[in-house]
Amino acid sequence: MKERTLALAGVFQATELVRQAANHGTWSGYAASSSLHSLFQLEAESTAEIYGGTARMKLGVETMLAVLQGDNRYTESLRYAVGLLQIEKKFRKSSKFQATVGNRLEDISAEGAELEQHEREDLQAHEISALYTDTVSKLTPRIVVSGRPQYLKNERTVDWVRTLLMAGLRSATLWNQLGGGRFELMFGRKKIIREAESLLMS
């Protein structure tokens, strides 16, 4: 249950960061690094390892908890999360897209090794943004990100929005692999809330 809750928190961390970027032009770099990190961890031993540790998932756990408890401030984050969970089903059925994404992410993970962390991450986000456009954005229903035009015209912000959506899809896939689904969200909400609260206390 803990692993599943963390995976779902991964979806909400990514979508809350998308909301921040689209509306404010800035986002939590610490949390975004964790989401980016998750895209390159294909052979991890545990869910926590995929994100670089549970401490780095605080934003996702808090957002998920707020949404499950009916907090209306996160309606956009929830809308993107629902969209990602829908797209994940289509992505799972496309072995072509899965292979393309897997191979490209492997290449991208090795890029910019000589750069400072923020420069390397911006470079990787730029490459993942192009990958997202070539693959995930062709699946329906397309996720339409709403926000302020001045931020959504900024190339770096757009790169990160697409990268974070890709990371959210990665977490949605993980949620499914760990046995999560609509039934779990409808009837297992209390368990998820309890697990999320204990994650915040640990």
Structure tokens at 107: 């290449």
Q: In this model, does residue 188 exceed pLDDT 90? A: no
Q: What Cα–Cα distance (Å) separates residue 15 from each residue in 96, 115, 118, 187?
A: 25, 27, 20, 23
Architecture of the domain made up of 2-201 = Orthogonal Bundle (1.10)
pTM: 0.96
Return the closest-CA partner of residue 200 out of 4, 1, 6: 6
Q: If you average pLDDT over every residue of the chain, what do you get?
A: 95
Q: What digits encode the pLDDT tens for the residues 3-35?
A: 999 999 999 999 999 999 999 999 999 999 999
> Average pLDDT of 76-99?
96
Q: What digits encode the pLDDT tens for the residues 93-115?
A: 999 999 999 999 999 999 999 99
